[in-house]
Amino acid sequence: MKTIYHLLLAVVASAGLVSCSTDLLDEKPKSSYSPENAYVTLAQFNQAIADLHRTVRDEIYWETDGTVIWALFTGTDQAVDPTDLNAGPFADYSLITSSYYWFYHYWVRYYRLVARANTVIDRATAKWSQLTPDEQLSVIGQAKFFRAYAYRCLANLYGGVPKIDHEVTTPRKDFQRATREEIYDFCREDLEYASNNLTREADGRGGITAGVADHLLSEIYICLGRWQDAVNAATRVIDDPQYELMTERFGTRMDRPGDVFWDLFRTGNVNREDGNKETIWALQYEFGVPGGQNGNIPTWNAGY
């Protein structure tokens, strides 16, 4: 009996050893986001695309300091800051350094947009992505538009800058500066991809479409001196019957004194779904709602 007991104990112990696995030690977060579960479904990728829209919107309607946009034309022949007229950095460009607040702001903002766009682009084809081939084309096309927009702004403001075309997952200090022309050409590649793979149907509320990509692509072709290509890209938008100049009163205040030009800039008249057929791309901004703004300065900046 004792022999049988010991034999049974040995069998049980052996089975326990065989069944041991390190899988139970692997963490599988189910109630929090991780790199493996944050970019899986189309809904999650659409959320990431919405965040790219928000990042661009905050460039203008900045949540903490709406005055930073004035850096784009203060000190030029368009405007001057009276407090800096005789001593400030915009009266003497030799006093401007890389740590100056306004210039640091735009550098960080645009590279933040690049980083977020790169994440979407790389994750769209990752092994855990559930996107269909057509959904991948759309998601990547939209993200590449935003990456091109960011690099277009960086090249315009700073000249040659480091080109980062993939998600950075580990600390790096080996970035090399590309030339301005190389950056513009990188923008061209992204925008041509977007133009060829995004829907041509105009979006009613500011979504990125082939027409939006072509509009920016025409500018990039000009930056590269490719004049006929610029004409061709712009013509695709001009000749698209979905877009046209507004010639008659429309919108939320058409019953008040004014004209069609006045209507174009009224609250509730900006989106295509509001009847504005001139709109190619509109950043979404709502006052006093979650995700919107509550101050006056962002509203003043709306025209810029």
- Cβ atoms of 45 and 131 within 8 Å: the answer is yes
pLDDT digits (tens, 9 = 90+) for 189-214: 999 999 999 999 988 788 999 999 99
Token pair listed for 58: 């905050």
36-242: what fold?
1.25.40
Amino acid (1-letter code) at residue 258: G
Residue bearing the bigger pLDDT, 90 or 200: 200
pLDDT digits (tens, 9 = 90+) for 8-29: 555 545 555 555 556 666 666 6
pLDDT digits (tens, 9 = 90+) for 232-252: 999 999 999 999 999 999 988
pLDDT digits (tens, 9 = 90+) for 261-296: 988 888 888 888 888 898 899 888 777 777 666 555
Buried-state track 192-216, b at ≥16 Cβ within 10 A, e below 16 = bbbbebbeeebbeebbbbbbbbbbb
Which of the residue ranges 60-69, 89-98, 227-236 would you say has the lowest mean pLDDT? 60-69
User: Which has the closest alpha carbon to 218: 207, 232, 208, 206?
Assistant: 232
* Max CA pair span of the chain: 105
Which sequence spans correspond to the domains of the chain? 36-242
CA distance 199 to 220: 21
Per-residue pLDDT for 127 more than 70?
yes
